[in-house]
Amino acid sequence: MKILMLHGINHNMFGKRDPAQYGTITLDEINASLQALGRDLGVEVEHFQTNSEREMCERIHQGFVDQVDAVLINAGAWTHYSYGIRDALAILTCPIVELHMSNIHAREAFRHVSVFAEIVKGQICGFGVDSYLLALRAGVSAAQAAKK
């Protein structure tokens, strides 16, 4: 089973950016945690990060071509306004799990809206790095259920 983890804009700056919201964990450490849990669950986790909306859409399209089993996405700020990424995600036929390290519903009003909400299987937010691990477990479970 192949799971695609998509990291959005500014996530390359985790560990440096707003530690009050995101802690000091780096993107490399997040990816290492996902890889370790993926091994425990018997799944392959591929990760991709970009600050380019175009590149994100193209990677989502490639995920469709590759027939990944599930997609996990923390799109960062794009979550709240990128209809281009939303439309790319809508092409996928596999489960999609949206996640955020911070609780987007306890932050600024503009962060309360997700343009992806109508097309994702579910959302996980507010648990720091554990949001990623919870999302991986949810994505694997949803992919397994979809194959039945």
Catalytic residues: 22, 100
Q: Two tokens at 16? A: 């440096």
Task: Please give the Cα distance from 49 to 67 (Å, whole number).
Answer: 19
Task: Please give the Cα distance from 71 to 93 (Å, whole number).
Answer: 10
**CA atoms within 13 A of residue 98's CA, in its CB half-sphere:** 24
- Positive or negative, the CA dihedral 91, 55, 30, 115 is negative
